[in-house]
Amino acid sequence: MVSAIHILSTGLGAAFLLGLLPEAWRGRAHLVTLAALALMSAIALSWVLAFAFDGQQMVDVFTAGVSPPFAINLRLGMAEAALSLTVCLSGLLSALYLKTSLITQGRRAMAVLLIAVMAFCGIILTRDIFNLFVFVELSVVSVGGLVLLSDDNRALGAGFKYLIVSQVVSILMLLGVIFLYHAGGTLNIDTLTAANAAGIGTGGLAFFLLLMAVVAEAKPVPANGWALDIYQAAHPAFSALFSAAAGTAALFAVDKVLVMGGPTWPPVVAGIGLFSFVAANVLGLSQTHDRRLLGYSSIAQIGLVLGVVGLKDVVGEHYLFIAGGILVAHAVAKAGMFWLSGLVAERKLSAWAVLRKNPILLFAFATFVALLVGLPPFPGFYAKWELIHALMAQDRVVLVALILLGALLEATYLMRWFGYALKRGADLESVQFEVRKVAVVLTAALGGWGLGYVWGELSGHANLLHSMALLFALGFVVLDGLPAWVKNTVAIAGMSAFFYVSYPGYDPLQLIFASIILLGGAAIFVAGYHERGRRLGFYPSAMLMYAGLAMLIVADTTFQFFAAWEVLTVGSYFLILRGKESEPHALSYIVFSLGGAFALMAGFALASGGVSEFAIQGLSDVAAEAAPWVFVLLAVGFMTKTAAIGLHIWLPGAHAEAETDVSPMVSGILLKAGLFGLFTLLMTMGKTQMYGVELTHVLMWIGAISALLGNLMAVFQEDAKRLLAYSSIGQMGYALFGLAMMNHLGWLMALMFVINHYVYKSMLFLSVGGVAKRTGTKLMYRMGGLITLMPLSFVAVLIGIIAMSGVPPLSGFGGRWIFYNAIMTAEYKLPILIIFLSGPIAFLYLFRLIHTIFLGQLKDEHRRITEAPFWIVVPQMLFVAFLLGFAVVPGLALRHVDAYIAQFFVGGGLSWDGLTITSPFGYWSPVSIMIVTGAIFAVLLAWLVFLNHKAQKVKQFNIVFAAERPHRPETTHFAWNFYAPYRKAFGFLLKPYATWFWDGVAGAFHGVAETARRFYTGDGQVYAFHMLGFVLVVYLIAMGM
Amino acid sequence: MDFEWIRIPHALLTLLIVFLYGLLLGAVIQKIGARAGRRHGIPFYQNYIDLIKNYALRTTITHGFMFYLGPVFRLTGGVGLLLFVPTIYGVAMHENFSFAGDLILALYFVFFGSLGMALGAGESGHPYAAIGVSRGLSQVTAAELPFAIAVFAVALQYQTLSVTDIVAAQQGSVFNWTVFTNPLAVTAAMMSFLGSMMRPPFDVVLAPQEIPIGPPTEYHSAYLALMQSNRAIFPIAKMVIYMNLFFGGAANWPVFFLKVFLLYLFAAFVGVVFPRFRVEQSVRWFLVWGVPVAVAGLFWV
Amino acid sequence: MQDLQTRLAQHTDLGEWTQQRADLAFVTVAREHLHGLLRHLRDHEGFTHLVLLTAVDWLEDGQFQLTYLMNNRAAARDIGVRVLIPREGADMDSIHDLWPTAATYQRELREMFGIDFPGSPRVDEEFILEGWRDMPPYRRDFDTLKYAQEEFAERPGRVSKDPETHMKQKLYPDGA
Amino acid sequence: MKDELKPRIVKGPDGIEFEVDPLRDYYCEASPSVHPPVYVKIVEDFFNWARSESLWILGFGTGCGAIEMRPLMTPRFDAYRFGVQWRPTPRQANLLMISGYLSTKTLKRAIRSYEQMQSPKYVVGLGSCTINGGMYWDSYNTIKKLDEYLPVDLYIVGCMPRPEALLQGFEDLKQIIRAGKAEGANQYAEKFEWYKANQKKVIHDWDMPDYNW
Amino acid sequence: MVHIAMLTGFVLIAIGIYGALTNRNILRMIVAFTVANTGVNIVLVSVGYMMGRTAPILDAAVPVAEAANRIIDPVPQALVLTAIVIGLGVTALMLAYAYRLYDCRGSLDISRFRDLKW
């Protein structure tokens, strides 16, 4: 093994060597630089591998050959090695990225770069506080130099501000060092710790000064104005280094220093860190400059790690896993993002739309965002999971809330940005990206995936990247260059095969969900054949969602469940984002979903008491005092997905603006994830009381009100897909209501809804989507009279609305019948009234849907349109066939589920004797109904045909019109504001209270951000003052504690 | 369960009786209404003649496929509703096809005809038809509510959803009728009944002077004849449900005729006395008056 | 009404003043004074309501007489303002800016008398007649009998009598 | 020709332009056909009896006679006794009452309504105006002989006829129908060209298809 | 003695920081920081000083064997040397910055460089 000191000596030596090279050998100088950095990385890597695989023990390197206190020692453990590797690699990649700038600037710049990397490594490795000071100052000088690499001459100002603040910091640090030495008689950290120097005389204050100095290097809010300016103005490759390497080094320094101070200081550091995390994320909300935004994000992430460092004792054995996970994820992602920003010409966020020209860059951007937000399968995900659990184990509920809030805010602006990149800027001209820079970015992205794998291995949970489903989905990233129909076939085959293979392992409940997800998903994919071209990005996203869903239903532990939940959320987000106008809706979807997911995580953590590997079945044994809170958190999490009223505002836009075949996926299938969660919740936790209030009763009310308001809002939509979307809210309300009834039939009804809703909503979304495709509008009043032109779509909608409205003989009636039987034994009667009211309201919007689109007057411009594309019609016909079949023999699917549910409730099941289904209260024979109805219908139709077979077929204006004639189809088609009188009666219920509320919340955060960021005035002296004030305030607070 | 083919002629017999009685009853009720206006009114056999005439018209037009199916749906709804409920309690001949489903089937089958009719009317392309449907559906959401709650109350009261069982539970004495055991629920249900009978004050759907008779504006000849047949059958089918649920059912035809007549008369009586509500007024009326009564009836159980 | 006449005469050049009844008077003005006078009557004299606007065909004089009848509801008075315009190429200034309803009257006059009101809304659209192709029917030189005979089928055997002579004969058969 | 009836070029959602001719695309262009009695005599007699006892009048008043029809619904006359009812839509009506003078403008609407009724259908002219023009004999805008334009089954004289006369008229019409002589609809179809020519002679702006289905 | 030196050091630090925070001119700020650095160095040295001992130079006057008792603590001395060197480096860098800032804006007023903020 090469001694760790050569990491430093290589950097230093190469820097000196560069000085010896002729000025003109710039290219060669650059090669030397790269070689040095590569060598440094290699050394670090060799140590990392040694620690990881050879069981290498931690080593101390004695610089002068003697042990401390007589010489400086360096220490190399796993953490040091890994972080040094991070630093060196980001240095190497930045140097590669900076090639042009470095060659222009000459060898001095290269030397400074080497010194910077060396200094960061030194900060990590050294165990001597004065040596630490030296490396910090070296890094200051080199950073000061590297800032000048930027083309932006505002960087000058930024660099100078940095130097001003550094001066203040260095004064504090030197004073701290010397008085610590005075108190402990040594400069070695370990010896100082052993001597408890911080507890002796002036040692306490000295330690505080030293600590503040190193904390200041981690750029805590609010003493960090200088750092933001540097991020904004410096060369992006330098910012990458500064963010990834300097941040990493500073954090490790804090970690090292902190052990000296005893128990007083970690909470202070944790406070500073978490405050920075939340505050920087709030401030980030109102940023419009990409690099400055990255700066805020960087500060937030480092703040989070700082918080974890402060919480070292709390998180215990997982400390390195957590802090390291967040740190490396941040380092890789932030470096990658800065590198990306170097490829983007303009500095406003929407300018990142240019990345669309290169799928690799887009993939990298997505990876980085996922890394930062902490989505699976990246290290931040595992780390956050462990962190929250560790905190929960110690009952640090407030901290959990703060961390989750901060994470949500961060996700908000990052996802918003990603949305801009994907959707803004209509016509982009073609851009040529430098291959070298793209390669650097791609390396970082792949590094992120690699880290995801490593962290998965380290996590102690099943590695997500070993999951078949996820791998299959990720495989589509690789396949993305193939034509759409090939991918479509692979997807259908894959999902069917997956179902076939997994089929024996499912219990009846899982089987129902699995059929809908896998077979149902495959059925919807059939519609995908109508797309020509490659349809970039569609299949990875969709398959990611399906993978998440498939993983969800078989999850045994809370971790698997949550991971699957996040995977399906991410996949569906990408999927929704693909719609033409869907950018804001996709954002609100992901924000609500992540908020819900965080509630889940908190709930799981609370339930398990901080045990990170916790069986879902264990939810039934949650301690009594925690149980109601667990219930509430999980229920809220799941209800975000089912879009229960109040949490529903993301749904209409997300579903309505999605692509034609995406709407059925996200409506017909994705919503079921929430229901599955609720099933799981209620199956395990059952009835739970909070302050004497029965929570399932509350759920019943929420379900009922969702059903009512969802339906009611659907009535007044002019946009067909929005109508269907609101109707989904109502339908999910029904299902929630059924579940919350907590009786056998209620659950059966909910399951019936799961199946039915999938079928008819998918079908309706496809039909309406097909119509919208042909007519070029989703506004119903602009359609009309399409029945003769699109007969198959009409039939699909007709069957769909009959099924959905619950009119016999189709399957919707089965749901209603079970519902009535279920409420007979329900404990609470009042919410049932609301359900009664909402039932017939469904007729209103369903009739409107079919009437204003297919009936009434055909418009001029639609006279020549044809039936929807063949492949969109095919799945509709499959659904029609299924609905008819399911109407006749619902028992095929339901009786097994019925038997399965019986294990949860005593009595109340159905009897499936012969053709008649019997409950304790009534009976129902689908076959007889179908036959009787069919027979009557056929006889009457024959009679009418006999009478009217010679009827004259007339055209659309041949209507009686009070002796006048219609003017134009537009004025004759009664469609707009169809239920105007109804609005008079019920309009008051339709005020968008929920939207107002959430707008208010969002507005408040943005308002705070907008006001608070004015704190950073841009004046170097003010920043120095901030630093001093920060130190003072922290001291006062710490002393007060 | 073994199906006996004899049920089919039996059911047809029930249907025929109800059909003929329905036509007659319609005319009688109209005549009574006319008498309230001091007119003689139509002859009691007028509906038969009108029906024959409409079947005998020589020309028809069609607006399309759904237009054609509308009346078929409508009448299927009426006939089906009748046949899914036992007409005469205790007489196997007139239990019709009630083995196919219970009360819930009947409640939801009510919508079968309305929905089909609405679709047919929509296909005609006539704005008045659409306006009529819009009004009708709007009104029905509120009008059905007290009834639904009342049915729920009754089902809870008797702990069954089987119509036959509910009727059975009311036998023995007049005071076993639901109307005496749970008068509140029945009051609420009767309010809904008014709303579903297409008579004033809840006839804004047809509103002859305003949107020339709404949904059926374009229907004529045999289509209209089918719908007239439905007008004879459907209200009676509905009243059979009310009778069975609330008024002890009917054990033989004379009782049946009497009870149906009285129920019909009730709607006609209210209709003659009160003027028409606008949609939002009737919605409000049902919510303000009907629902609280129904809820009280629910908690009475 | 006398006081009204006095007041009006102060700023407008009034023509002939006919006091029809105590509460109804007619006044003739030149067409260029009409607009100002109407506005004055409406805004200052309380004649807020335009009762009607009609025309008389003085065929022999070669003139149309336009009559603007206004009502002062508070004072329960009416005043009619007459304007004489030449029959040939008859046109008149529109007053739809004073009373929007006037546009309807003007459409009628345009159709029935052929008097143009440039600028009046929809003045050239059909009003009551559909597909009328002849001379405006209210002009006195339009021969409605001849038109009816040529245009509409007649049932043979109809006898039409002059009402005046016929009734005279019937009531006073002996010619007294 | 009204603007809304002129052929127009529209652009479909796919961007392809094409022509829409409202008269061709929005109205059925078929001509009426003759529907003779097809059943055996006794059935046809029975039907004729039913038709005669179920006169559904289109609620359409063309002139001052409309006022004379209202009393028929009141207790004093109560035409409902005789199987007479008013229907608000021509589709369901069999009897068109031309209640008084008919301006050419109203004639257009009357024709349209008549054509929208289903056969067998009947026309009754009320008052002298429909017979020979009555007091509107020299009007520039009123037709003088209804049967020139529509097949009239019965005229009821008077200016205006009283409700009693109307009741009597209904009875007379019933006789005609029962006798199988009320074949106005078939007559209209047979002499369609002639009727159309007459109609178009007085209706100068013919802005509808030849036959309004 | 020690206390006077240390006090002087702290006074210089205070003056330096005060100067750096109140002067708008960049050069004055740099000078002020130099003053503060000097103060720090004095503090450093004074911390290592022990009454009555000699400088930590091992030569004939101070034999190695006695060194531990006769010399003052050598570490702060060493630190000061390093600190001075580093301080010099930073000061040089700041001056270089000042030069380029002046080049860029024609002014040395720190409040002119506020275009990056918020």
Cα distance from D160 to chain C (closest Cα, Å)? 18
- List, for chain A, all residue ranges whose pLDDT scores fall below the cut of 50: none
Give the mean pLDDT of chain B: 89
Per-residue pLDDT tens over the stretch A744-767: 888 988 888 888 899 999 999 999
Question: What's residue B260's pLDDT?
Answer: 94
Residues whose CB falls within 8 Å of the CB of residue D198, separated by 6 or more in sequence, listed in order: C153, D148, D149
Q: Is there contact between A and C if contact means ≥3 C-beta pairs under 8 Å?
A: no
Q: CA–CA separation, A1009 vs A988, rounded Å?
A: 34
Q: Does A1021 touch chain E (CB under 8 A)?
A: yes
The ipTM value here is: 0.89
Judge: B144–A840 Cβ closer than 8 Å, yes or no: yes
Kindly report the nearest CA distance between residue A250 and chain E, in angstroms.
Answer: 19
Count CB neighbours of C57 within 10 A: 22
Q: What is the CATH number of the domain that holds E101?
A: 1.10.287.3510
CA angle A251, A256, A261 (to 5 degrees): 115
The one-character DSSP state at C116 is B
Beta bridge partners of B61: A952
Distances (CA, A) of E96 to A144, A163, E100: 10, 12, 6
Cis previous bond, D120, omega within 30: yes
Please provide the distance, in angstroms rounded to a whole number, between the alpha carbons at the two ends of chain D.
Answer: 20
> What is the signed CA dihedral for A655, A658, A664, A666, rounded to 10 degrees?
-60
User: What is the structure's pLDDT at C2?
Assistant: 84
* Count: domains in chain C: 1
Minimum distance, in Å, between the CA of residue A859 and any CA atom of chain D: 10
Amino acid at A463: N
| DSSP string over B137-175 | HHHHHHHHHHHHHHHHHHHHHHT---HHHHHHHT-SSGG
Residue D115: list chain A partners with CB under 8 A: none
End-to-end Cα spacing for chain C? 45
In a domain, C9, yes or no: yes
Q: CA quadruple B282, B283, B289, B294: dihedral positive or negative?
A: positive
Q: How far is A982 from chain B (nearest CA, A)?
A: 6
Q: Which residue of E has its CA nearest to A286?
A: E118
Interchain CB contact of B127 with A (< 8 Å): yes
Q: 């006037």: which residue's tokens?
A: C102
Mean pLDDT value of segment D71-97: 92
Which 8-state DSSP code applies to residue A1015? G
| CA closest to B52 among chain D residues | D50
- A49 Cβ contact partners less than 8 Å away, ≥ 6 residues apart: none
Decide if A960 and D208 are in contact by the 8 Å CB cutoff. Answer: no
Looking at CA atoms only, how far is residue B112 from chain A in angstroms?
A: 6
The pLDDT tens digits of the residues spanning B166-193 come to 999 999 888 899 999 999 999 999 999 9
Interface test with A, best of E37, E49, E94, E117 (most A CBs within 10 A): E117
Residue of A nearest to E113 (CA): A157
Q: What is the pLDDT of residue A703?
A: 93
d(CA B120, CA B75): 12
Is chain D adjacent to chain E, meaning 3+ CB pairs within 8 angstroms?
no
The separation between the first and the last C-alpha atoms of chain E, rounded to the nearest angstrom, is 48
Task: DSSP letter for A520, please.
Answer: I
Average pLDDT over residues C145-151: 91
Distance in angstroms (rounded) separating the CA atoms of residues A96 and A339:
11
Which one is the CATH code of D41-202: 3.40.50.12280, 2.60.40.420, 3.30.70.1150, 3.90.1150.10? 3.40.50.12280
How far is the CA of A608 from the CAs of A392, A394, A616, A686, in angstroms?
A: 9, 12, 9, 17
What residues in D contact A771, CB-CB < 8 Å?
none
pLDDT score, position A1041: 65
Please name the residue ranges forming H helices in A185-223. Answer: 189-195, 203-217
Chain D residues within 8 angstroms (CB to CB) of chain C: 104-105, 108, 131-133, 137-145, 148, 198, 201-206
Residue C142 counted as domain residue:
no
Is C113 contained in some domain? Answer: yes
Q: Is the pLDDT of residue E37 over 60?
A: yes
Q: Has residue C32 been placed in a domain?
A: yes
Q: Supply φ then ψ for residue A913, to 5 degrees.
A: -90, 115
Burial of residue C76 (CB within 10 Å: 0-12, 13-18, 19+) is: exposed
Residue E62 covered by a domain: no
The Cα B252–Cα B255 span in angstroms is 6
- A-chain residues near B136 (CB < 8 A): none
What is the pLDDT at residue E1? 66
Beta strands in A7-116 (DSSP E): 59-62, 73-76
B30–chain A Cβ distance below 8 A for any pair: no
* Residue given tokens 């004033």 in the structure block: B200
Of D204, C131, D110, the closest CA to residue A963 belongs to D110
| CB–CB contact B148 A839 (8 Å) | yes
Q: How far apart are CA B145 and CA A838, in angstroms?
A: 9
Contact criterion met (CB < 8 Å) for C132 and D105? no
Nearest CA in chain C to D132: C155
Direct distance between the N- and C-terminal alpha carbons of chain A, in angstroms, rounded to an integer: 47
> Using the 8-state DSSP alphabet, how is residue A710 labeled?
H
Judged against a pLDDT cut of 80, whether residue E50 lies above it is answered with no
Q: Do D120 and B58 touch (CB under 8 A)?
A: yes
Across A619-628, B220-229, C58-67, D178-187, least confident range: A619-628
Kindly report the number of other CB atoms within 10 A of residue A266's CB atom: 18
Quote the minimal CA–CA distance from A938 to chain B in Å: 9
Give pLDDT tens digits for B195-214.
888 888 888 887 666 667 78
Nearest-Cα residue of chain A relative to residue E26: A160
Q: Do chains D and B touch (3 or more CB pairs under 8 A)?
A: yes
In this structure, what are the phi and psi dihedrals at residue E89, rounded to the nearest 5 degrees? -60, -45
Cα–Cα distance between D117 and D121 in angstroms, integer? 7
Structure tokens at A716: 């007044």
Instruction: Tell me whether B49 touches chain D (CB under 8 Å).
Output: yes
The closest alpha carbon to B148, from D194, A823, A63, belongs to A823
Is there a contact between D91 and A865 if contact means CB atoms under 8 Å apart?
no
Residue C8 belongs to some domain of the structure = yes
pLDDT value for A279 = 94
Window A:110-139, CB contacts with E under 8 Å: 130, 133-134, 137-138
Q: Give the start-to-end residue ranges of the domains of chain B.
A: 7-300
For residues E2 and D192, give the distance between their C-alpha atoms in angstroms, rounded to a whole number. 130
CA distances from C20 to A511, B106, C70 (A): 97, 77, 14
Cα atoms found within 13 Å of the Cα of residue A91, Cβ hemisphere only: 39
* pLDDT value at residue B191: 93
Q: Can you give the residue ranges of every domain in chain A?
A: 1-127, 467-936
| Distances from the Cα of A506 to the Cα of A550, A672, D32, angstroms | 11, 17, 67
What's the length of chain B?
301
Where do the domains of chain D lie? 41-202
Which residue of D106, D113, D205, D212 is the best one to mutate when testing the A interface, meaning the one whose CB has the most A CBs within 10 A?
D212
Q: What is the DSSP pairing of strand A952-953 with strand D8-11?
A: unpaired
Give A775's contacts in chain D (Cβ within 8 Å).
13
Residue type, D23: L
For the cut 70, the answer to whether the pLDDT of residue B163 exceeds it is yes
Cβ proximity of A928 and B97 under 8 Å: yes
Q: Which residues does chain B have within 8 Å of residue D120's beta carbon, measured at their own beta carbons?
A: 57-58
Residue D2 amino acid letter: K
Residues 6+ apart with CB under 8 A from E72: E48, E49, E50, E53, E54, E55, E56
A949 interfacial to chain D (CB closer than 8 Å): no
Q: What is the mean pLDDT of chain A?
A: 90
Residue of A nearest to D212 (CA): A958
Q: Report which of E22, E21, E40, E34 is spatially closest to residue E92, judged by C-alpha positions.
A: E34
Range of A105-109, A742-746, B52-56, E105-109 with top mean pLDDT: B52-56
Domain limits for position E16: 2-52+67-112
CATH number for the domain spanning C81: value is 3.30.460.80
pLDDT over 70 at B2, yes or no: no
- Chain A residues whose CB is inside 8 A of the B72 CB are 937, 940-941, 944
Within a domain: E78: yes
When CB atoms are compared, the residue of D137, D141, D204 closest to C158 is D137
Question: Inter-chain contact D22–A861, Cβ cutoff 8 Å?
Answer: no
Is E60 inside a domain boundary? no
Contacts of C113 in chain D (CB under 8 A): none
Cβ contacts below 8 Å, chain A against chain E, sum to: 123
Domain contains C140: no
Flag whether E touches B (3+ CB pairs, 8 A cutoff).
no
Of the candidates A791, A951, A974, the beta carbon closest to that of B60 is on: A951
Q: Give contacts of B 218-277 with A, CB under 8 A.
A: 218, 221-223, 225-226
